[in-house]
Amino acid sequence: MANPDIVTLTDADFEVQIKAHPRLLVDFWAEWCGPCRMIAPVLEELAGEYKDRLTIGKVNVDENRQVAARFGIRSIPTLLLLRDGGSAWIQIVGGAPQSDDRRPRWTSSQRDVERTATGG
């Protein structure tokens, strides 16, 4: 993961990271997951666009099973929007087809991301 705007989250540092980043979009993924690779460029774009208001973190479920189990992750990709020290606010499971603006449908309006990023 080369993007400096995306945080790598592990079992060992997850608690510290969610306290350090009050608004955190967590991508649960694995290297072998095709849909995970499909949404990665969109997450990189969002990381740059919202870096002052929202942190994007990635949890490799093959290497960090405790965090995945904590949130009951059974399918990937799964995105969790966490706020206020780790409470799950929004959960999105699976890759979604892209809309006309080249972003997956779950980001096309950006309403939920905007509300979270601004504390709404």
Annotated catalytic residue: which of 7, 24, 26, 33?
33
Respond yes or no: is residue 33 known to be catalytic: yes
Annotated catalytic residue: which of 6, 24, 26, 36?
36
Q: Which of 32, 27, 31, 52 is nearest to 42 (CA)?
A: 27
Catalytic residues: 33, 36
